[in-house]
Every structure is written in structure tokens, then in C-alpha cells.
Structure 1
Amino acid sequence: MSLQALKNIRNTNNNAAKSEQQQGFPAMLEQFKGEIARALPKHINPDRMARIALTAFRMTPKLAECDPRSVFAAVIQSSQLGLEVGLMGEAHLVPFGGQCQLIPGYTGLMKLARNSGQVVDIYAEAVRMNDKFALKLGMERNLEHEPLTAPGGFPASDEERGDVVGFYAVGVLKDGSRTFVAMGRKEVERIRDGSRGYQAAKKYKKESTWDTDFVAMGLKTAIRRICKFLPKSPELATALAMDEQAGRQNLNLDDVINGSYTPVVDKDTGEIVDVADGGK
């Protein structure tokens, strides 16, 4: 896929760039709709992508304060990964320090894992205080989770099941083998406390996603952990790298055009250890 058309955006003169900055992302998206269509994979409908992006943009007023080029780059990158931003939860446009960052959601990571062709199923669950949970490691690994049930055998409410005490994720491979990871609440909270987004929210006394939707973030943490042990497509590896770099490195239009946003993966462990800089 050629991204030559997008270079027209990057190479606009300073006056045009200032004009785009003033008009904002919606005007920029409309202005370069033709270039977007030529740059996206053939299976991506540019009009639908534009509608989804505008909806997500308007649902987050703070994005209007971001450099519109960073929003544009995030939208293009999400489309190239095959993730939809917004209500589906596959990916999110997140303002951070005047720049827009693309943050994959846990449903997006699961989608990319399945798209690898090697993962038949992948899922995560929260374990609550009144559930039955048994974990066995060693030579015969096993995980059993029996949520508390209500009369009739139906699932009990979250309130009846009690506070969340941990999370786990399971991956089922094409050959029928399974693998899993389990994380206690304290471990998840330690990861939360190391998040730059969470730290920034606390510094400025604002709510973060960890505050408003702890369970979803815990599920994502478990999914992200298990993905390190699963076969990875280039799209999944890139999405994981972007998620790990959130708050540390901004995705810009040059990264998208030049393909320089590339994860460095440990060949032995499969763990993402860095992000290549494309020789910059």
C-alpha cells in the first residue's frame, strides 16, 4: 500500500499548515478525504472511517485542543490496523499533552489476536470475592473459575459476587492447546500506578479510565499480558507497542507515512522491548 498521497499533507507550506491548525480536525478530514481514500487498504471504506472518526472526535471535546495532524495520524493508523475508534471499544482517540494518541482497547487486542489465524479464541474474566477460583501451576497447569450463581443457576449480580479480587485471560490456539495468565488485584493496581495517564490524572486531580472503569482496564491488562505469549501478527505487535508507549511517545504523521513506528520484539520471548525509530 502506498502512502504517497499523505505526503501532500505533511509537505504543505507553513501558511497552509497554520490554516489547517485553525480549522481543526473535522475540516482537515474533509479536505483530504481523497488522499485518505487512496492511502487506506482497499477493504476499508473511507467514508465510514471518516464518520466513525468524527463521532469519536465529537464525543471527546478535549481532542479539539490537540494538534489536528496528530488526530489525523491516529485515525489513519487505526484504520491500517483494522480497528474502529469509538463506541465499539476497539481503539480510542486520547488527548495527551496537546497531542492525540491512539490507544487500543482490549476488544481491539482480542480482535487482532484472532486475526492472526493462529488464535481460535481469546477472552478475559474478572474474579470476584464470592466466586470459586482455583489456580494450579507447575507441571499440570490448571485454572478453574466458578462465578457465584443466583437462584435457578443464573449468574449472580456483581454486587452479590463481591469486590473484584483478580483477573485472568485465556488463549486457545489453532492446534487446540490452551494457555492462560492470572493476575491478582494488587498486581493490576501496581501496573495501574505505573501508567503515565493515571499519574497525570492524579496530578491534576482528574478521573482516569482506571477510576471510571477499573474492570475494563483490568481485563485489558490481562489480555495484554497473555498476548505476549501468543503468536503475533504485525498488526497485533504494533498495537501492543503503541499501548505500551502510551504517554511516552506521540504518533505523528511522519510515523504513519514512513512506517517508522515499528515494535522491536525479543525473538526468544516474543516480548515487545522497544519501538524502532526508523533510523531517526
Structure 2
Amino acid sequence: MNQLATRQQPGAVAPQRMPNEYDVLRRSLTNRTDDFKMALPAHITPEKFQRTIMTAAQSNPDLLKADRGSLITSCMKAAQDGLLPDGREAAIVTFNTRKKDPGGQWITVVQAQYMPMAFGLRKKILQSGEISSLETNVVYRREAEEGAFIFEAGTEAMLRHRPMLELSDEDLADENIVAAYSVATMKDGTKSFEVMRRSEINKVRQASQTGAVNKTTRDGKAIPPKGPWVDWFGEMARKTVMRRHSKTLPMSGDLIDVEATDESIAARSAAHVLSVQPDAPQLAGPTQQEIDAAEAGADPQTGELPTDEDDDQVQQGPADDQRGEAHTTVDAADDLIAEINSKELLADLDAFMRDTDLALLDDDQAARVEEAADRRSAALRKGK
């Protein structure tokens, strides 16, 4: 009886199921199968790559809210590098940014950004065929003071570390880490190494969005650091030195330079870099805590941990001597004005202003920046 009652009447039109966000993303990826196939290495099929992206989107629904163009571009960059955005080899992070809509109103836009992880970097380096091993480690204060760690630069550079197994829990505290290093052994037996002091590592940490210390909101409220820089400082230090070292090592293919991209973004919007973001970015795939624990346990020597956003993210941003540790909105306004005055084309100036979030500045500073932009625009129109 019920079956008869619910049976579709002859001539009736079946209701159309609206495609959900996952279906839309799946179709977008499927439509680009040929593009992915051309970019991916032979051992990664487009289908496997697309499944990884869909799994990441299921784990982190914020990816579905991201600007579709930025998401597809991030996927293509991962394909070009031959890395799976699975949260281990690479990740796609989302972050909120503010832009002006065509009506001139500030709106919040979710952007996606590709980010190779330390494990992915190590994979690319070892795939070059020129390197047989890559190791990283940290140095504790007692080891340095008692001669267990020796580092010499110059024409006869040398690195020697004899880890002290008798260090106490207090000696092994994060605050007692004084350096980190990376050592690569080439196929011919020669070695290459990179050493970073604690102060250099701290500069990278300060460029992090959630791990930086002594940051405050615009109203002066302290922002406590959090994320892997707090929970896994040693692993983050290892990852940081390996990232720096990787810039001088042969790789399998040309890895997208996220650090350079990060600096380009910073140059386009000093306010974005020098101010606290309203929403911290999130890693695609597993949660931050799950990735931290999984990667730390999987390969503690390489420090395959996600960055905290500009994390991270993973990302080694500009050093503090370029960006400063205690910037004010005045500094940000001055930096923006200097960047405005350096523009030689109206198109570049317009693009810069579209990407600059003046809402992060005080009203008087925002007015100064807008006046500078108007003056520069007028000068360019006159051909000066």
C-alpha cells in the first residue's frame, strides 16, 4: 500500500538532486585530469592524486569554502612537485584574508595555499639520486658547553656531534636547545651540512602566525603562542634547518619555492604580515594535533611536522631583522607607503592596493596609505 502510494506517477518529473560541494570539487578535479597527468611524475596517477585531495577535503571541510581558483592552483603546484597533499608529503592550508569587493566594501575571503612538508622535501632531495642520506638533529646547552658538539666554518669546515645520553629531563628541555643542524651525505661520500643557532631558529618561529611569542592584538591584549612550535619545538627546529639546507642541495625537479612566495605575499601586503590575523590557517587532512603526533613519531630525525600556518607554515618567512618583533601600525603604514612609491605601473599599484587590508591599520594610518596611493596613482597617470 505504501509502495503504491509513493510510486511516481506517469509523466511526473523526478526531483533533481542538487550537487553538494564535494561533487562540485570532484568534477573540477576530474575536468583537470589531463593537466594533472602532464604535471605528475609517472609513479603517481591522476586518480590517486585526486583521491588524496578529496580525502583532505573530507577531513578539512574548510577547503570546500576556499576560493576555487586558489584551491586548484594549489593542487597543480603539488602535482608539479610530485607530492601528495596528504598532510605528510605536502598540505593545502586555508587562511582568511580580507579584500575589497567591486563595490569597495571589505569582505573576508578564504584562500588555499600549497605547502610542501619537511617529509616531502626530504623525499625530493633523496630522489635526486645524488644524495644517499639526510639527517637532522638538535644540540643541547650541556653538549655545547662540554665539547660534545664542535662546529667549525671556513676552508676546513667541520661538524662533529656526540649526543650525551646521560642528559637529564631538565637538560633536555626545549629552552636548552642551542642549535640545530642538517647533514647530507652524497653518493660519492662527500658531506654537506647546515647549522642554525637558536637565535636564527627563533627568528623563523617569530614569522609563524601562531607560534610567535610576545605578540599582541591591536588593543594590546597578549596572544599566547600555540601549535607545534610550543608542543614540538625540537622537531620544528630540525625541520627549519633542513628547509634552509635544502636550498643548497640537489632535488628531483624544481620544488616550488614557498619561502619566496611567502616573501612576495609579504611585500604585497605589509599589513597582512605585520598584524595578527583574525583566523589562524588550518591544515588540510588530519587535525594539527594528529599530524604533529603522527609525523613526530614516524620520523623524528627529519622533523616532518606541519607548520602553524604560514606555518607554516613549514614556511620560513622573512627574518625578524627584516620584519621586526614588535612592529606598530606606524611601521606597517610606512612600509606600505614605501611599497606604493616603488610601483612603476598603474596595474601593479592597483593590484597591490586590492591585496592590502587597510582594515588592519588604525584609521589615521589607513588614511595616510590611501593618500599615498592616490598621489602615486596621479603621478603615474601623468607619466612621472
Q: With structure 1 as the length reference, what TM-score do the two structures score?
A: 0.66
Checking the alignment, whether the CA contact within 8 Å between 1:148 and 1:161 is kept in structure 2 is no
Structure 1's unaligned 5+ residue stretches are 1-21, 151-155, 251-279
Q: What residue number does 1:52 align with? A: 52
Matches within 5 A, 1:73-92: 73-87=73-87, 89-92=88-91
Residue of structure 2 aligned with 1:162, choices 173, 181, 190: 173
Quote the Cα distance in structure 1 between the aligned partners of 2:85 and 2:168.
30
Q: In structure 2, what is the Cα distance between the partners aligned to 1:185 and 1:61?
A: 37
C-alpha separation in 1, matches of 2:226 and 2:54 = 24
CA RMSD of aligned residues (A): 3.3
Shift of the 86–43 alpha-carbon distance from structure 1 to 2, 3 Å rule, reads: closer
Call closer, same or farther: CA 1:94–1:146 in 2, change over 3 Å. Answer: same
CA distance in 1: counterparts of 2:69 and 2:194, whole angstroms: 38
1:36 maps to which of 32, 40, 47: 32
Shift of 1:110: 1.2
User: Residue 18 of structure 1 aligns with which residue?
Assistant: none
Q: What letter corresponds to residue 29 of structure 1 in structure 2?
A: L
Query: Is contact 1:121-1:173 (8 Å) kept?
Result: yes
| 1:129 paired residue among 134, 141, 151 | 141
Aligned 8 A contact 2:152 2:159 in 1: yes
Q: CA deviation at 1:247?
A: 7.2
Within 2, Cα distance between the matches of 1:247 and 1:28? 33
* Amino acid in the other structure paired with 1:35: N
Q: Classify the secondary structure of the residue corresponding to 1:120.
A: strand
1:191 aligns with 2:204: yes
* Matched residue, 1:93: 92
Change (3 A) 1:174 1:80: same
Quick check: which has more Rg, 1 or 2?
A: 2
DSSP 3-state at the match of 1:161: coil
Structure 1 Cα separation of the partners of residues 264 and 168 of structure 2:
38
The alpha-carbon deviation at position 218 of structure 1 amounts to: 1.8
Match for 1:226: what amino acid? H
Deviations 1:124-174 (A, max 9, x none): 212233443221223322212222326xxxxx7976633322210112223
Q: Which has the larger displacement, 89-98 or 132-141?
A: 132-141
Please state whether the residue corresponding to 1:30 is helix, strand or coil.
helix
Unaligned runs of 5+ in 2: 1-18, 98-109, 218-222, 267-347, 349-384
Whether 2:246 is the aligned partner of 1:227: answer: yes
Query: Which secondary structure state, in structure 2, belongs to the residue aligned with residue 245 of structure 1?
Result: helix
Aligned residues: 221
Call closer, same or farther: CA 1:29–1:235 in 2, change over 3 Å: farther
Distance (whole Å) between structure 2 residues aligned to residue 66 and residue 213 of structure 1: 29
Q: In the TM superposition, what is the alpha-carbon distance from 1:202 to its structure 2 partner?
A: 5.1
The residue that corresponds to 2:365 in the other structure is none
The one-letter code of the counterpart of 1:46 is P
One-letter amino acid of the structure 2 residue matched with residue 149 of structure 1: L
The answer to whether residue 188 in structure 2 is matched with residue 175 in structure 1 is yes
